[in-house]
C-alpha cells in the first residue's frame, strides 16, 4: 500500500494492490474465473473508497495474473509501480496466447495515479535447460532519484531469466534496472548458488546512504552468492 496525492485536486489517497478471483466494489469487474490483479484507491481519513475519481482498476489477461508488490515513484506524484507474474501476455492483455506451457512470467507495470491506468508494462519469461515449465515472479520494486526503477524477484528450480546468465541451480534471485520513462531494460542479473535463494518479502530492496542498491534475502547454498 502506498500514499499518493491526486495532481488535479490535491486529494490524498491510499492505493492498495493485490490479486483475486472474485469481484466486488473495491476490486472491479472480472471476466471468467481466472485470477487478476487489482488496484483500489482509498480515502486515508476514512478507509473507504474515494468518492471522486476512479476507485478501482482490474489488471489482468485471460489467464492467471497476480500482483506481488507495489512501490511509489517519489519523483512523480502521478506515477507508481506494481510487480507480479502472469500466465498471459501483460504487454498485450487482449492476446489469447497463453504462456502456460512456460509457467508464470514476471512483469512490472508503471501506473497513473489519476485513473490507475497503465503507462507501460514489461514482462520477462524464463527457460529451463532441461525443458518443462519455468516460473519467475517479480516481488519488489524501488525507484531511485533519477526516476529509474529496480525490480527484483525469484526464478525457480534452475531456470534462467531472459537477458540474464544461466542458473547455478535451485531457485535464484533476479534484479533488473529499467528506465522509468519507457521501461527500457538497462541491465538484468541473476544471483544464486547451487542451493536456493529467496528474496525477503516486504523489504527485499533498499538503498544505502550512497543510493547503492542493497538486496535482502536468504540462501541455503554457498555463504557468498555469485554475481553473474
User: In the numeric block, which cell numbers belong to residue 70?
Assistant: 507495489
Whole-prediction pTM: 0.91
pLDDT of 94 strictly over 70: no
Q: How far apart are CA 40 and CA 1, in angstroms?
A: 9
Comparing 70-74, 167-171, 188-192, 212-216, the range with the smallest average pLDDT is 167-171
- Taking the CB of residue 45, how many other CB atoms lie within 10 A of it? 8
CA distance 173 to 81: 20
Strands 79-86 and 65-72: antiparallel
Q: How confident is the model at residue 100 (pLDDT cuts 50, 70, 90)?
A: low
Lookup: cell for 82: 506494481
Decide if pLDDT at 5 tops 50: yes
Percent above pLDDT 90 for the chain? 68
**Residue-wise pLDDT tens digits, 32-77:** 788 999 999 999 999 999 987 789 999 989 899 999 999 999 999 9
The edge-to-edge listing of strands for the beta sheet with 118-124 is 65-72, 79-86, 105-112, 118-124
pLDDT tens-digit map of 186-198: 999 999 888 999 9
Checking if the pLDDT of 11 tops 60, the result is: yes
What is 59-114 written as a DSSP string? Answer: E--SS-EEEEEEEE-TT-TTEEEEEEEESS-TTSTT-----GGG--EEEEEEEETT
Identify the pLDDT of residue 228. 44
pLDDT tens digits, one per residue of 115-137: 999 999 999 999 988 888 899 99
pLDDT of residue 159: 92
As a whole number, mean pLDDT of residues 165-185 equals 93
Across 85-89, 110-114, 181-185, 219-223, least confident range: 219-223
Amino acid at each position: 500500500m502506498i500514499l499518493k496525492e491526486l495532481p488535479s485536486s490535491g486529494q490524498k489517497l491510499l492505493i492498495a494492490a493485490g490479486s483475486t478471483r472474485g469481484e466486488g466494489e473495491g476490486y472491479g469487474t472480472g471476466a471468467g474465473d481466472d485470477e487478476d490483479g487489482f488496484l483500489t484507491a482509498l480515502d486515508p481519513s476514512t478507509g473507504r473508497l474515494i468518492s471522486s475519481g476512479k476507485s478501482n482498476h482490474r489488471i489482468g489477461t485471460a489467464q492467471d495474473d497476480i500482483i506481488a508488490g507495489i512501490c511509489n515513484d517519489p519523483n512523480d506524484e502521478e506515477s507508481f509501480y506494481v510487480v507480479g507474474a502472469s500466465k498471459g501476455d501483460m504487454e498485450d492483455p487482449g492476446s489469447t496466447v497463453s504462456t502456460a506451457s512456460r509457467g508464470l512470467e514476471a512483469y512490472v507495470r508503471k501506473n497513473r495515479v489519476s485513473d490507475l491506468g497503465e503507462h507501460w508494462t514489461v514482462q520477462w519469461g524464463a527457460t529451463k535447460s532441461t525443458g518443462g515449465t519455468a516460473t519467475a515472479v517479480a516481488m519488489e520494486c524501488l525507484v531511485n532519484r533519477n526516476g529509474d526503477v529496480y525490480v527484483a524477484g525469484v526464478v525457480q528450480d534452475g531456470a534462467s531469466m531472459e537477458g540474464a546468465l544461466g542458473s547455478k541451480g535451485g531457485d535464484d534471485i533476479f534484479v533488473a534496472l529499467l528506465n522509468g520513462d519507457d521501461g527500457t531494460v538497462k541491465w538484468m542479473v541473476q544471483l544464486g548458488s547451487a542451493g536456493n535463494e529467496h528474496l525477503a518479502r516486504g523489504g527485499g530492496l533498499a538503498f544505502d546512504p550512497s543510493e547503492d542498491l542493497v538486496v535482502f534475502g536468504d540462501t541455503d547454498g554457498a555463504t557468498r552468492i555469485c554475481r553473474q
